[in-house]
Structure 1
Amino acid sequence: MREAGTSGLRDFGCVAIDYLLVDAGSATPGYTSIADSGRKITREFCPSCGSPLFTRAETLPDSVFLKTGSVDEPEQIEPNCQIWTRRAVPWVYIDEKLPCFPEGCPSRPEGPQD
């Protein structure tokens, strides 16, 4: 995650690609890298401002991992788990009322594991 330009915190939701509507007027630029799993992931951005929009995982071609900051009403989204807690910096709050996974979520082992 830190390689993606963050302090280790990111919030996203897994969305079926059939429900994704990008109103950008052009293709979303992106770059592909190799995740910890050894699989390819592609991060895509707004062509106008460069804001991160979503990540595609090679192992889940029918879904995207949508950055919640890119949606119109992110307050409507509630977390249901925390992943990669092993990599959290010391000051990160880990809500232990939610399922926590030190690595990627076992139900989606090939998610955006960067």
Structure 2
Amino acid sequence: MLARDFGFLQGEALVKFYESSPGTHRGFCGVCGSPIFSKFDDDKSGYGLPLGGLDSDPGVKPELHVYVSSKAPWHDIADRLPKYDEDA
């Protein structure tokens, strides 16, 4: 998600960040612990957004799969989208 397209309607002060790996900051609700979004030191133009937290269709479809060499062994990718072992 582009950072310029993201904004809080309320509750911004409740978001707490944790640096999960160098340069990656994961934001969680400070009350319930739900993941909200991730920020990246090396790319301030975009945020990582966990799609499981959305209430409605985001209006976009997946275009590819990245880090497939690290996927859970029980997860089968059943579509024909391009697959990459690393970031695309």
TM range (shorter): 0.7 to 0.9
Which residues of structure 2 form unaligned runs of 5+? none
Answer yes or no: is 1:94 the counterpart of 2:77.
yes
TM-score, normalization by structure 2: 0.81
Residues in 2 aligned to 1:74 and 1:30: alpha-carbon distance in whole angstroms: 26
Q: 1:90 to 1:26 in 2, by over 3 A?
A: closer
Residue deviations 1:56-87, cap 9 Å, x none? Answer: 11111121011111222147442111111001
Contact 1:26 1:47 in 2 (8 A): no
- Return the index of the structure with the highest Cα Rg: 2
Answer yes or no: is 1:31 the counterpart of 2:18.
yes
Give the superposed CA RMSD: 1.9
TM-score, normalization by structure 1: 0.65
Residues in 2 aligned to 1:69 and 1:76: alpha-carbon distance in whole angstroms: 14
Count of aligned pairs: 87
The higher-RCO structure (CA 8 Å, 6+ apart) is 1
